[in-house]
Amino acid sequence: MVRDGLARFVPPPADRDDLAGAWQALVGWARGEHDARSARRVEAEAAVRAAQEATAGAHAAIVALFTDAQVQPPAASPQDAEATLIRAAAVTAERAEAAWQRMSERLGQAREQQVQRMALQQESRVAKSLAGHLRANNFERWLLEEALDMLVDGASRILRELTGGQYELMHDKGEFFVIDHHDAGLRRGVRTLSGGETFQASLALALALSEQLAGMSTTAASLESIVLDEGFGTLDATTLDVVAATLENLAARGDRMVGLVTHVQALAERVPVRFEVHKDARTAYVERVGL
């Protein structure tokens, strides 16, 4: 009967011919089974305690996340703690998403305002600079500097044409200089120019000034002629040749008539059309020579 009560635990088979031996075998098996089950119970209890500790640790970690996010963790009974935390986390995530969206919109607005701020600062700098220029003395100085820049730019273009690309004209702090492209772009003061080169630079400035005056005229006037009287009698033969070649190149452009007043016969003979003034004891008369 005792054995029948242990049938569900699958005891070892009994030897019906030796009941005492069978009983001893059953007792030994029962002791071993008891020890094994006791050991497994200890292990199971340890596993339960570990699981409980892990659950408590996870709960504490989640609560810490709420605390770090400055969100009050929800109060709940141990049975509902998990579901309550899940719901609270979902609500907090939705609120955080909405807050992030608002911050993104405000960041975009801040960037737009930064662009507007930079534009306004630029306008402020321009207005401040213009206000400085519009002061009586500064405005006059600014106009003179602008006019001088335009004059030198125009003269530099003409000088390049007159010198075959050798010279350009520039100015710096009221001083005039030439850039010599035949000497590796060396910047030289105009005082270092020869007589013929000085004449070319002066002629370029005069022509550029005439162009500026025509451009500033309110009646669209054009200066189609220029008369030069430079005291050519003081120039040597080489300089006279440079002057004559320059005037011939200028006349070849065809955009204006060039008049020349000179007593130097060698220079006058290179002018294709000239008017000679003759004087006798009674009167003076003008004679056209050439074409």
Q: What's the number of domains the chain is made of? A: 4
List the domain range (segments joined by +) for residue 190.
144-221
Task: Categorize the per-residue pLDDT at 147 as very low, low, confident or very high, splitting at 50, 70 and 90.
Answer: confident
Residues 86 and 53 in one domain: no
Task: Categorize the per-residue pLDDT at 99 as very low, low, confident or very high, splitting at 50, 70 and 90.
Answer: confident
pLDDT of 14 over the 80 cut: no
* Residue 16 located in a structural domain: yes
Those residues with Cβ within 8 angstroms of residue 190's Cβ, 6 or more apart along the chain or in another chain: 176, 177, 178, 198, 201
For the ranges 12-21, 162-171, 220-229, the maximum mean pLDDT occurs at 162-171
Task: Categorize the per-residue pLDDT at 177 as very low, low, confident or very high, splitting at 50, 70 and 90.
Answer: very high
Domain end point (choices 114, 134, 154): 134
* Residue 241 located in a structural domain: yes
* Residue 73 located in a structural domain: no
Residues 184 and 173 in one domain: yes
State pTM to two decimals: 0.45
pLDDT confidence of residue 260: 79
Structural contact between residues 204 and 162, judged by C-beta atoms closer than 8 angstroms: yes
Domain end point (choices 68, 99, 126): 68
pLDDT confidence of residue 83: 66
**Which of 152, 261, 159, 248 has its CA nearest to residue 203?**
159
Provide, rounded to the nearest whole percent, the portion of the chain with pLDDT above 70.
Answer: 76
Domain end point (choices 205, 221, 237): 221
